[in-house]
Amino acid sequence: MSEEHRSGCPINLTLEVLGDRWSLIVIRDIMFGNRRHFRELMQGSNEGIATNILADRLRRLVENGLLTKEDDPSHKQKSVYSLTEMAIELVPLLAHMGAWGRKHLPVSDALAIRAEILEEGGPQLWSDFMDELRARHLGTPLTTDTPSVLARLTQARNEVAAREKSA
Amino acid sequence: MSEEHRSGCPINLTLEVLGDRWSLIVIRDIMFGNRRHFRELMQGSNEGIATNILADRLRRLVENGLLTKEDDPSHKQKSVYSLTEMAIELVPLLAHMGAWGRKHLPVSDALAIRAEILEEGGPQLWSDFMDELRARHLGTPLTTDTPSVLARLTQARNEVAAREKSA
Interface touch B112/A8, C-beta < 8 Å:
yes
B106, closest residue in chain A (CA to CA): A1
pLDDT in tens, A41-83: 999 898 999 999 999 999 999 999 999 999 877 777 789 999 9
pLDDT in tens, A123-163: 999 999 999 999 999 988 887 777 899 999 999 989 998 88
For chain A, how many structural domains are there in total? 2
B56 within domain boundaries? yes
B138 within domain boundaries? yes
Phi, psi of B4 (to 5 degrees): -75, -20
CB-hemisphere CA count at 13 Å for B92?
17
B115, closest residue in chain A (CA to CA): A10
Q: Say if strands B67-72 and B75-83 run parallel, antiparallel, or are unpaired.
A: antiparallel
Interface touch A10/B99, C-beta < 8 Å:
yes
Interface touch A7/B94, C-beta < 8 Å:
no
Q: How far off is chain B from A120, nearest CA to CA, in Å?
A: 15
Looking at residue B134, the DSSP 8-state letter turns out to be I
> Helix, strand or coil for residue B72?
strand
B135 within domain boundaries? yes
Residue B98 shares a structural domain with residue B80: no
Q: How far off is chain B from A36, nearest CA to CA, in Å?
A: 19
Give chain A as a 3 state SS string: CCCCCCCCCHHHHHHHHHCCHHHHHHHHHHHHHCCCCHHHHHHCCCCCCCHHHHHHHHHHHHHCCCEEEEEECCEEEEEEEEECHHHHCCHHHHHHHHHHHHHHCCCCHHHHHHHHHHHHHHHHHHHHHHHHHHHHHHCCCCCCCCCCHHHHHHHHHHHHHHHHHHC
Closest to B16 in 3D by CA, of B6, B25, B26, B24: B6
What residues of chain A lie within 8 A of the CB of B157, using their CB? none
What residues of chain A lie within 8 A of the CB of B15, using their CB? 21, 24-25, 97
B90, closest residue in chain A (CA to CA): A100
A122 within domain boundaries? yes
Closest to B69 in 3D by CA, of B44, B41, B47, B46: B41
- H helices present in chain B, as ranges: 10-18, 21-33, 38-43, 51-63, 85-88, 91-104, 109-133, 149-166
What residues of chain B lie within 8 A of the CB of A94, using their CB? 11
- Letter string b/e over residues B38-58, b meaning 16 or more CB atoms within 10 A of that residue's CB: bebbbeebbbebeeeebeebb
Residue B93 shares a structural domain with residue B131: yes
Residue B97 shares a structural domain with residue B57: no
Residue A158 shares a structural domain with residue A100: yes
Name which of A4, A12, A27 to mutate to probe chain B: the one with the most chain B Cβ atoms within 10 A of its Cβ: A12
* Helix (H) or strand (E) segment spanning residue B80: strand B75-83
What pLDDT, on the 0 to 100 scale, is given for residue B142? 80
Residue that is last in its domain, among B23, B52, B84:
B84
Average pLDDT over residues A88-93: 96
Query: How far is CA A134 from each of CA A30, A38, A64, A95, B18, rounded to the nearest angstrom?
Result: 13, 21, 19, 17, 29
Name which of B16, B26, B105 to mutate to probe chain A: the one with the most chain A Cβ atoms within 10 A of its Cβ: B105
A34 within domain boundaries? yes
What pLDDT, on the 0 to 100 scale, is given for residue A2? 45
- Residue B13 near residue A105, CB atoms below 8 Å: yes
Residue A93 shares a structural domain with residue A158: yes
A83 forms beta bridges with A67
- Cα separation of B19 and B138, whole Å? 23
Residue B97 shares a structural domain with residue B142: yes
Residue that is last in its domain, among B39, B55, B84:
B84
What residues of chain A lie within 8 A of the CB of B111, using their CB? 7-10, 12
Residue B47 shares a structural domain with residue B102: no
What pLDDT, on the 0 to 100 scale, is given for residue B32? 94
Residue A69 shares a structural domain with residue A101: no
Residue that is last in its domain, among A43, A69, A84:
A84
The segments of chain B whose pLDDT lies below 70 read 1-3
- Residue B101 near residue A11, CB atoms below 8 Å: yes
B12, closest residue in chain A (CA to CA): A25
Residue A93 shares a structural domain with residue A141: yes
User: Which amino acid is present at A114?
Assistant: R
A53 within domain boundaries? yes
* pLDDT at A102 > cutoff 90: yes
Residue B69 shares a structural domain with residue B22: yes
Torsion of CA B84, B89, B93, B96, to 10 degrees: 120
- Residue B69 near residue B58, CB atoms below 8 Å: yes
pTM of the model: 0.90
**Domain of residue A31, CATH code:** 1.10.10.10
Query: How far is CA B45 from each of CA A125, A150, A159, B38, B84, rounded to the nearest angstrom?
Result: 38, 41, 47, 11, 21
Interface touch B98/A21, C-beta < 8 Å:
no
By residue range, what is the domain housing residue A148? Answer: 89-166
ipTM for the predicted complex: 0.89
For chain A, the distance separating the N- and C-terminal CA atoms, rounded to the nearest angstrom, is: 55
A5 within domain boundaries? no
What pLDDT, on the 0 to 100 scale, is given for residue A153? 92
Average pLDDT over residues A3-10: 81
A2 within domain boundaries? no
Residue B70 shares a structural domain with residue B101: no
Phi, psi of B114 (to 5 degrees): -65, -40
* Helix (H) or strand (E) segment spanning residue B76: strand B75-83
What pLDDT, on the 0 to 100 scale, is given for residue B1? 39
Interface touch B108/A28, C-beta < 8 Å:
no
Residue B76 shares a structural domain with residue B51: yes
